Structure formats: C-alpha cells, structure tokens
C-alpha cells in the first residue's frame, strides 16, 4: 500500500494462507511500514503457513508485534519475507485489516 502523506496506519488484524504447497526457502513473512527503518506490524514463521490453512493473529508462531499500535506516520505498508525468496508455494493469500487516521 503506498504512503499517504500525513496519515498513520494502524494494523488491527490479519490472516495469511499459502496456496498450492507449503512455502519453503524463507524464514518468515512480515508486514512492515515503508519507513527507512521499518516498524514490523506482524510476522509469521514459514513453518506456521501450511498449504491451504489460514494462519491468523493469536495462533502459535504468528507474532503480532504491533497490532493496534500506530505505525510510522506518512508511511505505507508492505509484505515481505526474511532470509531468502519463497519457493514451492504458488501464492500467498492475505488479508490485512487496518485503520488510517
């Protein structure tokens, strides 16, 4: 999601699902703001995302670090992964619920 000047995003809930196969290659999927030193809203370990199973905030290995906390003002949101590219999974299905103030 692109930055919105002067506005602040607060992630309030999220779920992710790997489609086609269990993901491999990376360590975790992360949602951060787009600041130069990004703030992590949440992260989900690769092992948590099994093929076609929804992983939602509040389950084991789903770290919702800053759910409900305002992220860096004037920044957007991005979804990424840590320690390498994702292999084997066809698609990452996701839903990020947020407010903008």
pTM of the model: 0.78
Which residue bears the tokens 């000047």? Answer: 5
Which residue bears the tokens 């489609």? Answer: 19
Of 4, 23, 5, 25, residue with least CA distance to 94: 23
Instruction: Give the pLDDT confidence score for residue 26 in this predicted structure.
Output: 58
Q: Are 41 and 33 spatial neighbours (Cβ–Cβ below 8 Å)?
A: yes
pLDDT at 75 over 90: yes
Q: What are residue 48's phi and psi, to 5 degrees?
A: -75, -30
Across the chain, mean pLDDT equals 81
- What is the Rg, in whole angstroms, of the alpha carbon atoms belonging to the chain? 13
């Amino acid at each position: 999601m692109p930055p919105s000047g002067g506005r602040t995003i607060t992630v309030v809930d999220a779920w992710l699902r790997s489609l086609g196969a269990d993901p491999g290659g990376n360590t975790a999927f992360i949602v951060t703001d787009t600041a130069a030193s990004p703030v992590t809203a949440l992260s989900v370990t690769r092992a948590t995302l099994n093929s076609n199973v929804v992983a939602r905030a509040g389950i084991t290995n789903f770290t919702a670090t800053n759910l409900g906390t305002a992220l860096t003002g004037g920044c957007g949101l991005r979804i990424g992964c840590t320690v390498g590219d994702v292999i084997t999974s066809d698609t990452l299905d996701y839903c990020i619920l947020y407010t903008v103030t």
